[in-house]
Structure 1
Amino acid sequence: MLRSASAQIFRQVVRHRSTDTSLILERSINRVQLLGRVGQDPVMRQVEGRNPVTIFSLATNEMWRSGDAEAGPLGSEQSDVSQKTTWHRVSIFKPGLRDVAYQYVKKGARILVEGKLDYGEYIDKNQVRRQATTIIADNIVFLSDNVRERV
């Protein structure tokens, strides 16, 4: 499956040379896959003149061992397990997916989100300029049993 996906990506690379200039247009990739747990129930927001958006947070965890990895007296390892949680902001603009996510994604659910990274700026309530990284989702896979039964 990975081989066919890689082959498909390479086939999609577009190179075009114009007779007037030496302009080269190449296709690029901005893809993200996150597997984690939902941190809050989704919220649907709508700004005047724009389509609504469903927003929620997703937590991913990274774990590693530190210290000696030698076996102790009973075969236990003498190392500590450390964990780091990273929170991601997920936004969904796609109409069908936006509504399904708003209805079925719940706090604590385990989901896989596929989409792209988006960087932007906003001004907070204290008039301070902030930067934000958002995952623009175009697919969600529900992995919690209770959610799959309801969809």
Structure 2
Amino acid sequence: MINRVVLVGRLTKDPELRYTPNGVAVTTFTLAVNRPFSNQQGEREADFIQIVVWRRPAENAANFLQKGSLAGVDGRIQTRSYENSEGRRVYVTEVIAESVQFLEPKSSHSSNQSASTSNTGGGSQNAGKGKYRKPQPDDPFAGSKPIDISDDDLPF
């Protein structure tokens, strides 16, 4: 049996980091993934997929991703159900991420945010939420010259 999911999309809101009673980190976020086709009106639609990340990758995702960040997720689909407060059975389908990749520099996304967000995280929109955001260095590739590589030189 194979249960493998690979997704690339943007976060719809900041990730939520929590800890289990045993101290295990768990982060949840929703990833908006564009569909590969347009609808009858010519508009692109997206699927909004719930992602769950555990342990150290959960802490990393919470610290370095934010609303609008481009992320890649590799994991598996899991379904579960529970009874809500009204006594109805609720079914949930989510992706349990084994790996989360940050697909753009934080500075490229932060520059698109409002002035209240900074690259150092000091004045971020998440201030006061108990999250630690490590300061990021300046772009090491800024001002560098493009490399001329022909398609024949690539290994793929």
TM-score, normalization by structure 2: 0.62
- Counterpart position of 1:83: 44
TM-score, normalization by structure 1: 0.63
| Structure 1 residue 120: Cα displacement | 0.5
Q: Counterparts of 1:49-128 in structure 2 under 5 Å?
A: 49=22, 51-65=24-38, 80-93=41-54, 95-128=55-88
Distance 1:34 1:147, change over 3 A: farther
Task: Give structure 2 stretches of 5+ with no counterpart.
Answer: 109-134, 138-156
- Counterpart position of 1:22: none
Distance 1:116 1:125, change over 3 A: same
Asked if the contact 2:39–2:45 (Cα under 8 Å) also holds between the matched residues in 1, the reply is: no
| Structure 1 residue 82: Cα displacement | 2.9
- Counterpart position of 2:106: 146
SS of structure 1 residue aligned to 2:60: helix
SS of structure 2 residue aligned to 1:150: coil
Distance 1:50 1:119, change over 3 A: farther
Taking the aligned partners of 1:58 and 1:66, their CA distance within structure 2 comes to: 20
Taking the aligned partners of 1:48 and 1:34, their CA distance within structure 2 comes to: 30
Distance 1:96 1:50, change over 3 A: closer
Instruction: Tell me the amino acid that sits aligned with residue 44 of structure 2.
Output: Q
Deviations along 1:33-63, whole A, 9 cap, x unmatched? 0110001111123343573311111001114
SS of structure 2 residue aligned to 1:101: helix
Larger radius of gyration between Structure 1 and Structure 2: 1
Task: Give structure 1 stretches of 5+ with no counterpart.
Answer: 1-27, 68-79
Taking the aligned partners of 1:111 and 1:101, their CA distance within structure 2 comes to: 9
Higher helix share: 1
Instruction: Tell me the amino acid that sits aligned with residue 136 of structure 2.
Output: R
Give identity over the alignment, percent: 25
Distance 1:125 1:85, change over 3 A: farther
